[in-house]
Chains A and B, each alone.
Chain A
Amino acid sequence: MVLRRCRKLLRDEDRALDAMQDVFVLLLRNDARLVADAPASLLLRMATNVCLNRIRSTSRKPEDADEALLQQIAGDDGLESRSLARAALARIFGREPESTRAMAVMHLVDGMTLEEVANEVGLSVSGVRKRLRTLKERVAAEA
């Protein structure tokens, strides 16, 4: 599941394998604090954040509109200013709401409805809508 997620977002087998391992390394290093009643959801969110970090740090030419969108989401400094990796840990272990970038991927790339995204990240629909509004406007402006 995690490798599938990384393959989908990174489009490269070696990079996906590498990112998948990083996801489990994050888990191993935080196992004492990990409380999850939905491990698949947790792993998918972690994988999304790890992949967004990878996408952000590379300059691969997008092959299609989805990949271009992912790069736009990953590189949008207006969404979050902190290190994604550090912030992702804080979010995942319950100290902070989910990353706007990850929510943007769920909604704009994975095709999840706002309700589904809200359900996954534990926010209200209006909260998700508000967080994504700015990004959606930028995406629309560049489309």
Chain B
Amino acid sequence: MDERTPGRVPDWLLERLALGELPAAQADETRRRLDAEPGGADRLAALRASDREILAAHPPRVMAASIRERALAPRRRRVLAWGAAVAAPVAAAILVVANTGGTPPVSPVETTRMKGLEPRLVLHRKAGGDAETLDDGATARAHDLLQLAYVAAGRRYGVILSMDGGGAVTRHLPVGGSVAAALDLQGATLLPHAYELDDAPGFERFVLVSSDAPFEVEAALAAARAVVSHPEAATLPLALPEGLQQTSIVVRKVR
């Protein structure tokens, strides 16, 4: 029976019926329609089986912790954005927020994160015929060939840029246009082109600025330009407009 077959009880109403939420008269009418529908009685059983499958695959305790953590994320972003003068580690910022935001700290079990909850950059370097993953702070040389990937973790829009010790700011994503790119939400996404390090001294820092809403590329570029000549530019958080989140990965240049 097709979903839009006339007379079929829509899934929407079935959900409400199963939860006992429909007004009495509407519930009676919906049950009557369900009884008259081929396979109708099986649909409620299937709904309950689906509930069991979902609860087994996504334990409420883990899911609740993950959701709570996501709900705290904007406050975390504010700490990073406004605390630009103090390049505090992200973990410390999270701890401060968790303890001052009116929400009780969660237990170690409850802090289990959903895969890719926080956006991040992944950096690979071509090494012979293979690629090696570089950790934040890894060393690199001029002419190393790097490949960037991002994990959007649900953030829908992003800008990826790099800053170097020579004071240059380079945009990598989007390649053109004035609005942040729509991010691919499926796991780690490679940028279309590799990036060859030049001979700028000191460091190369890649930054992913992301948000749930479209934003101007210039907001990210301007924030990068504002700090790129600072002595602590390799680690200093960008002073971004509220609502934008940032994550960086830095390679240290050696000769």
Contacts of A21 in B (CB 8 A): 63, 66-67, 70, 114, 154
**Interface range on chain B: under 10, 10 to 19, 20 to 34, or 35 or more?**
20 to 34
The reply on A85 being an interface residue by CB < 8 A is yes
**Interface range on chain A: under 10, 10 to 19, 20 to 34, or 35 or more?**
35 or more
A28 CB contact (under 8 Å) in B8, B15, B68: B68
Contacts of A14 in B (CB 8 A): 185-187
Contacts of A110 in B (CB 8 A): 3, 10-12
A18 and B13 contact, Cβ closer than 8 Å, known pairs A25-B71, A40-B19, A111-B5:
no
Q: Is the CB of B16 within 8 A of A18?
A: no
The CA-CA distance from A106 to B15 in the complex, in Å, is: 14
The reply on A132 being an interface residue by CB < 8 A is no
Q: Is the CB of A18 within 8 A of B185?
A: yes
Q: Is the CB of A15 within 8 A of B185?
A: yes
How near does chain A come to B214, taking the closest CB pair, in angstroms? 8
A116 and B156 contact, Cβ closer than 8 Å, known pairs A4-B50, A40-B19, A40-B21:
no
Instruction: Name B73's closest neighbour in chain A (CB-CB).
Output: A25
Q: Is the CB of A41 within 8 A of B185?
A: no
The CA-CA distance from A28 to B154 in the complex, in Å, is: 18
A59 and B182 contact, Cβ closer than 8 Å, known pairs A1-B15, A111-B8:
yes
Q: Is the CB of A40 within 8 A of B185?
A: no
Contacts of A12 in B (CB 8 A): 186
Q: Is the CB of B182 within 8 A of A57?
A: yes
Q: Is the CB of A112 within 8 A of B12?
A: yes
Contacts of A1 in B (CB 8 A): 15, 19, 51
Contacts of A40 in B (CB 8 A): 15-16, 19, 21
19 contacts between A and B (CB under 8 A): A1-B15, A4-B54, A5-B15, A8-B11, A14-B187, A17-B58, A21-B67, A21-B70, A22-B70, A25-B70, A25-B71, A38-B16, A40-B16, A44-B12, A57-B157, A59-B182, A85-B213, A111-B3, A111-B4
Q: Which residues of A does B touch, CB under 8 Å?
A: 1, 3-5, 8, 12, 14-15, 17-18, 21-22, 24-25, 28-29, 38-41, 44, 53-54, 57-59, 83, 85, 106, 110-112, 116, 119-120
